[in-house]
Every structure is written in structure tokens, then in C-alpha cells.
Structure 1
Amino acid sequence: MKKVHVLVLKAFIRPFIVTFFIVMFILLMLFLFKYIDDLIGKGFEWYVILQLLMYASATNVAMALPLAILLSSIMTFGSLGENYELVAIKSAGISLQKAMMPLIISVGILSIGAFLFSDYMLPKANLKMGSLLYDVRNQKAAFLIKEGIFNNSIPGYAIRVKKKDEDQTLHDVRIYDRNTSNGNLNVVLAKEGNMYMTDDNQMLILKLKDGMRYEETPGTSGTYNPRQRLMRTEFKETEQKFDLSSFALKRTDEDLFKSNYQMMSLNQLKMYRDSFEVKGDSNLRSTYKDISLLAKTYRTDSLSPKAPVVLKGKYKDVLELVPKDKRLAAVTGGKDQIRTVRDVLGRKELFTADNKVRIRGFLIELNRKFTLAVSCMVLFFIGAPLGAIIRKGGLGLPVVMSVLFFLLYHIISTIGEKYAKDGSLSPAMGMWIAIFVLAPLGAFLTYKATVDSVLFDADFYKRFFKRVFSKKTEVTG
């Protein structure tokens, strides 16, 4: 390998690693901001949050990797151009394409790795994150007693305290037992209490002092009266236990989420697509059979004429083919037949529409696995020549340019995906339209960088406009 290639590789690897992890960190922060309300106040263990962030990091690779390649390629060639190293390389007889060759190979390897990652690792990460995020969002908030407010978190109980000290000492405690279907028949009042959890965090224990327990029971008479007897028990100290197992994180079976498009590999997407296409074809065949069967049934109806009727002269209405005494029955029967056919076709149409939506979803996700790999190459061929043209390194202008081009790519791909889901575009066109738009731009920028274009040279445009305006003043003078 030539020393020039080693120089270019070293100049690319460091900013690529730095920008990749910076973008990953930003995307993780956006993920946390999005789901912060579902994570706070639910008493999760630290490893649950860590698992969720780890799975979210894996799912963010699809966005972080192309952006990191775009930004690092701009920074690399911008820095080489700013330090006149590109000039030295070209003066040595090495063209820009040859200087880019080691990076082209490296980005190609990254693109293949991105495809393999999206096919093998990303579906598993989406499955893990989707199931865990579902459980986290449906998890109850952690049990918390606030002063002067009834807490109904524990099923069957309502707890209120007038004051709570920092050492978890409670004052003026009221506990309403609502486990019965007849209202708050059991009430516990206490002047003071202490709250603590068991070692396994499965039980909450309130140790109450100086209180009274009121219980209403049906009594022993023959007639049913749930409030016939009142029992009042005074205590100096007692314990009230509450089951907190409902507050523990309960994991849902991951098999329930495996039918989602984003949680399938390439082979699974093809298999499901083929199976749904077979279902669609079977639905069309069954529709034809059902309509044919209904048509045969209607032709053998007792109201139908036994033989073809030939009318002599003109007739104004088809009902003239039916005897007068049977016309009302014929109209009623015809309406019923039309309604039956319409219902059959309506059900078949709903099934067909839903089946097409599912097939489009499989095709969209199937194409996404390839567009991730190709987008890395396209954005590299935009970033590398763009950096050589603007000749600015660092995190200033390169960041601005990379964000603009990545936003252009992301907006076009998002719009294309939306139209593909709606059926306005084919799934292949919708998912590849951003590549088709930006690939010619990459080729154009590569050509401009090869011929040392002054496309982004501000001094060139200043001189150009000065010449234009000076000519105008000479003509007017």
C-alpha cells in the first residue's frame, strides 16, 4: 500500500469513529427525550434502562452510519485540501480517484457490514427493544404515597396520609379496603405509622400505631344486608401488608412481536411476502367461485323464466318479462340477491386491501436492507468530493454541509417511504428514490472535484460578480 493511501486512511478513521459515536449519543438523547415520561417514576432497575439503551443504540445504526460516513469524508478531504495535502498528492501524479480508492474499499466493506447487520442483528435488536419498550410503557408507576392525596395504585385499597416525614414516618393514616363489591366497608384509621419494604421488594408493610379498625358485615339474619353488623377494633400496634407484585416488570412473550416487518430477516420477509401473495391469489379464486355459485343459484330461482321470453314489439321495463302477480316478489328477491353479492364482494375487497398493505410492508422492509448499504456509498461519493471542493476541515462548515445533504437524503427517503406505504409509489421506487436523486449529485461532485472546480469558492463568485457589474457600468457610461 502506498504511503498516500495510508495517509488518507489515517485521516479518515479517526473522524469517522468520533462522528459515529457523537451521532449515536445524540440519537440516544433524542430517544430518551421521547420516552422520558414512560421511564420516570416506575422504579426500574438500572439494568433495565441499560438494556433499553443498548437495543436503541443498535436500531440507531441505520441512521448514524450513513451520517457518520458523510461527515467524516467531508472532514477528511476538507482537511487534506485545507492543508494543501491534496495539492501535493495531485502534483505527484495521483488522481483524486486513486487517492480515494482505499476509502472506497473501506466504505464498501462498511456497506457490506451494514447489510449483514440489517439482515441478522437489526431484526433481533428491534424485537428486543420493541418487546421491552412495550412492557416499560405499560408498567405501573412505582408505589408512592403523597401527603393529603389518596393513592389508588395498590389494587383494592385507597391510602391517604396527612403528613409524611423524611424517615418514612406517616401521620394520620387512613386505609380503605375496596376488595368487596359493596363499597368501602372496611376502614383502618391510625394516628401514626411506619412504612418499609420486604427484602425481595414484593410486599409493602405498614406498621400502624394507636388506631381503630371498622368492619361492616352482613350479620346472621336471614335477609341479606351487607351493612347489618359493625365491628370496631382498637389497637395499639398492628401491621398491614400489601402485595406489590403488580409493580414488578412483567415481560411479554417476544413471539407476539415477531410478525412485525422490522423484526424479520431477509429470508423471513421473502417467505411472508410469498405466503401473502398466495393468500391474495386464493382470495381472488374464491371470489370467482362464490360469485359463480350465486349466479347459478339465482338462475335456478323459481321466479326466473323457464325458457327465454321473446317480446314482440317494444317494452319499457324489464319487469314486463315477469307476470304481474310475481313482480313484487321478483323485485324483493333481486334486492336480496344484489345485497348478498355486494356483501361478498365487500368482504373480499377488505381482505384484498389488507393483504396488499401487508405485502407492501414486507417489500418496503426488504428494500430497506439494501438501501442502507447503498446509501453509505452514495453519501461517501457526495462527502469526499465535497470536502475536496470546499477545502475546509474541522467541525465548522463540514458539519453544516453534511447535515444539509443528510437532511435532503432523509426527507426524500421519508417522503418516498410514505408514498410507498400509501400505494402511490411502488415499494422499490419509494425506497430507492433518494438513492436515484442523490447518485447523480455524487457523480457530478466527483467530476467537479477531479477537475479542481471552484464550485464553493467564495472568492471566485466575488470576482465573477465584480466583472459582471463592472461591464454593466462601462456599458451604461
Structure 2
Amino acid sequence: MKKIHLLIINAFIRPFIVTFLVVMFILLMFFLFKYADDIIGKGFEWYVILELMFYSSATNVAMALPLSILLSSIMTFGSLGENYELVAIKSAGISLRTAMIPLFILILAISVSSFFFSDYILPKATQKYGSLLYDVRNKKLSFLIKEGVFNTSIPNYAIKIDRKDEKADSLFGIMIYDHSVNNGISRIIMAEKGKMYKTDDGNYLILKLINGIRYEESNGRSGYDPRQVFSRMRFAETEQNFDFSSFQMSRSNEESFANVTEMLNLKGLEKKRDSLTKELDSVVKANKVNVESYYKQTTIAKGYSKIPSKTIEFKDNIITELPKNQRFAIAQNAYQQASSVRQVVLNQLTDFDLRMKDILKTKIEYQRKYTLSVSCLVLFFIGAPLGAIIRKGGLGLPVVISVLFFLIYHIIITVSEKSIMDGGLSVGLGMWLAAIILSPVGAFLTYKASVDSALFDIDYYKQLIVSKFKKKD
């Protein structure tokens, strides 16, 4: 490998790593802002949040990697052009396309790695991320008792306090409705003050009550004595135990998420698509038989009668050929039959649309495994010549241009996927539409950069306009 190749690769690796980490950090912040309410205030251990952030970062690679390649390639060749290093390379007899070859090989290796990542690692990471996020979002809120409001977070209990002292961890004016008894009559406990703490294993919440009264009603002692018994007991100090295990987060079985489309590899997607297609075919056949039953003759064995019958031809409206005293009944019966068929078809159309969308999702995810790799190559052939043309390094103009092109790429992908789900585009055309549109742009920019075109040089356009006005004068 020539020294010039090592120079270009070294100039690319550092901004690529930096931009990739920055983009991942930004996407991670978006995730935290989105699910802040589901994470904050639930008493999670630090490693649970760290694990969730790690899996979330793995799922963001598909968006961060193309953007990082685009931005770092613009910065690399922009910096080389700004420092006149590209001029020195060209003066040595090395064209821009030849200088791009080592980076092209590196990007090709990254693209192939991204394909294996999206097929092997990403489904597992998405599965763990989805499972953990489900557990986090469904974990009950930590036990917080507000003043003057009944709290029903603990099953079978309703607790209200008048006032609390958070520094001393003390509660005042406590009222507890205990619905855990089996006779359907709640038990009422009132206390002047109390203190709350958890056991060492965290499974039970202990509420220590001071100076209170317990009110309890019970049914009669025997079947012939229907009178209820009301008891009142005063206490100086007592403890009430609450089961706190339901407030702890339990991890779901990850295998229950294994059949989700986004969590499957290529083989899994093919298997799920085939099974969904077979189910759809069986449903269509069953619906066809169901609808045809409304039109078949039910009182005569059609096709098995050997008695010849004359074909009846209707010259006018069929209703005029029917007996007058039976027209209304026949028309009403036909209307009811048509309404039944219409309702059956409408009910089945909803199920048909849902199954078709599931099949389309599997096809979209199947194509996405390949489009991620190709998008890295396409955006590289846009970013590298753009950097050579604008000849600006750093995080100024390259960031603006890269974000602009990435937004165009992302919008095309989003609109295409929506069009696929709506039936406006085929899966193959829709998923590859961004590459089809942007590939000619990359080829055009590469050609312009190889011939030293002043495509984004404002001074060039100013001189061109001034020269045209001078010619007219």
C-alpha cells in the first residue's frame, strides 16, 4: 500500500469514529427524552438503565452508520482540499478516483460488516431491547403517597395521609382501607402517625402505626344468626405488612418476542413470510367457499339431476317475470342475502388487510438487511466528491450538506415504506428507491470532482454572471 493511501485512510478514520460516536450520542438522547417518564422515578438499578441504553444504541446503528460515513467522507476530502493536499496528490499523477480506491475498499468492508451485523447481531439486540423496554414500561410506579389523596398502588389497599415529613420519613393522619379480607367488608385502620420502610430483601413494605384504632365488621357467627359483629380495637403501636414484590421489575422471557418481524434474521423472515402466505391462502379459500354458499342451490342437488330442464330466458326485468304475490318476499329475501354477503366480505377484508400488512412488513425487513449496506456505499460516493468540490473541512459546511443529503435519503426511505404499506409501490422498488435516486447524484458529483468542477464555488458563479452582463453592454 502506498503512503498516499495510508494518508487518506488515516485522515478518514478519526472523523469517522468521532462522527459515529456523536451521532449515536444524539440518537441516545432522543431515546432518553422519549422514554424519560417510563424510566425516572421507578427505582431502577443503574445497570438496568445502562443495559437498556446499550441495546438502544445497537438498534440505532442502522441510522448512525450511513450518516457517519457521509459526514466523515465530506470532512476528509474537504480537509484535504482545504489544505491543498488534493492538489499535491493530483500533481503527482494520481486522479481523484484513484485516491478514493483505498477508502472505497474500507467502506466496502464496513458495508459487508453492516450486512452481517443487521442479519446476526441486530435481531438479537432488538429482541433484548424490546423485551427490556417492555418490562421497564410495565413496571409499576414506585410507592409514592401524596397528601390528601387515596393511593391504590398496593393491591387490595387504599391509603390516605393528611401530612408527611419526608426528612423524618414520617406520616401523619393515616387512614387505611383493607380489602384483603374475604367477606367483602373492608377493614378500616386509622392512626395518628406512622413510619414506612422496606424489608432487607425488598419484598415487603412495613408501615409502623402509632396511636390508632382498627374498625372491623364481620358476618354472624352461624347461619341462623344473620346479625353482623362490629369490633373496635385501639392500639398504641402495630405494624401493617404489604406485599411489595409486585413493585419489583421481573424480566420477561425473551423468546416470547422472538417472532416479532424486526427481531428476525433473513432465515426467520423467509420462514415467517411463507407461513403468513400459506395462512392467507387458506383464509382466502375459506372465504371463497363461505361466500359461494350464498349463491348455490340448497334444495336441489345441482348437477346430479338427470331430468332435462328448459333454459329460461328473461327478456325484460327479472322482477316482472315473477308472480306478483311473491315479488316483495323474493326481493326482500334477495336483499337480505346480498346484505349478508356484503357484511361477510367486509369482515374478512379487515382480516385480509392485516395479514397482507404483516407479509409486507416481513418483505420490507428482508430488503432492509441489504439496503443498509448499499446506502453506505451510495452516501460515500456522494460525500467524498462533495468534500473535494467544496474544499472545506471541520464541522461547519460539511455538517450542513451532509445533514441535507441524509434528510433527503431518510425522507425517501420513509415515504417509500409508507407507499409500500399503502399499496402504491412494490417492495423491491420502494426499498431501493433511495439508492436508485441517489446513485446518479453520486456518479455526477464524482465526475464533477474528477474534472475539478467549481460546482459550489460562489465566486465562479459571480464571475459568470458579471461576464454575461458585460457582454450585453
Structure 1 length normalisation: TM-score? Answer: 0.91
Partner of 2:188: 187
Partner of 1:201: 202
SS of residue in 1 equivalent to 2:297: helix
Look up the equivalent residue of 2:370 and give its one-letter code.
Answer: F
> Quick check: 151-160 or 314-323, which moved more?
314-323
- 1:221 & 1:348 partners in 2: Cα distance? 58
1:214 Cα offset (Å)? 1.5
- 1:118 & 1:29 partners in 2: Cα distance? 22
- 1:298 & 1:221 partners in 2: Cα distance? 64
Cα displacement string for residues 56-99 of structure 1 (whole angstroms, at most 9, x for unaligned residues): 00000000000110011001001111111100000000111111
- 1:265 & 1:376 partners in 2: Cα distance? 20
- 1:239 & 1:279 partners in 2: Cα distance? 58
Contact 2:15 2:72 in 1 (8 A): yes
Look up the equivalent residue of 2:405 and give its one-letter code.
Answer: F
Partner of 1:220: 221
Contact 2:185 2:218 in 1 (8 A): no
Partner of 2:437: 437
Look up the equivalent residue of 2:260 and give its one-letter code.
Answer: N
Cα displacement string for residues 211-258 of structure 1 (whole angstroms, at most 9, x for unaligned residues): 2212122243757878x3321111111111111111111233333323
1:174 Cα offset (Å)? 2.0
SS of residue in 2 equivalent to 1:191: strand
SS of residue in 2 equivalent to 1:273: helix
Partner of 1:140: 140
Look up the equivalent residue of 1:192 and give its one-letter code.
Answer: K
SS of residue in 2 equivalent to 1:455: coil
Look up the equivalent residue of 2:108 and give its one-letter code.
Answer: G
Alignment of 1:60-139 (within 5 A): 60-139=60-139
Distance 1:468 1:315, change over 3 A: closer
1:117 Cα offset (Å)? 0.7
SS of residue in 1 equivalent to 2:44: coil
1:389 aligns with 2:389: yes
Distance 1:164 1:325, change over 3 A: same
Look up the equivalent residue of 2:126 and give its one-letter code.
Answer: N
Distance 1:264 1:213, change over 3 A: same
Alignment of 1:346-365 (within 5 A): 346-365=346-365
CA RMSD between the two structures: 2.6
1:196 Cα offset (Å)? 1.1
- 2:186 & 2:458 partners in 1: Cα distance? 83
1:147 Cα offset (Å)? 3.2
Structure 2 length normalisation: TM-score? Answer: 0.92
> Quick check: 53-62 or 326-335, which moved more?
326-335
Distance 1:310 1:430, change over 3 A: closer
- 1:315 & 1:431 partners in 2: Cα distance? 55
SS of residue in 2 equivalent to 1:20: helix
SS of residue in 1 equivalent to 2:432: helix
SS of residue in 1 equivalent to 2:142: coil
Look up the equivalent residue of 1:57 and give its one-letter code.
Answer: S
Look up the equivalent residue of 1:308 and give its one-letter code.
Answer: K
Look up the equivalent residue of 2:447 and give its one-letter code.
Answer: Y
Partner of 1:177: 178
- 1:109 & 1:355 partners in 2: Cα distance? 37
- 2:225 & 2:267 partners in 1: Cα distance? 66
Alignment of 1:251-330 (within 5 A): 251-290=251-290, 295-298=295-298, 300=300, 307-308=309-310, 310=312, 316-323=316-323, 327=327, 330=330
Contact 1:147 1:164 in 2 (8 A): no
Distance 1:372 1:299, change over 3 A: farther
1:148 Cα offset (Å)? 3.4
Look up the equivalent residue of 2:128 and give its one-letter code.
Answer: K
Look up the equivalent residue of 1:458 and give its one-letter code.
Answer: I
Look up the equivalent residue of 1:205 and give its one-letter code.
Answer: I
How many residue pairs match? The answer is 469
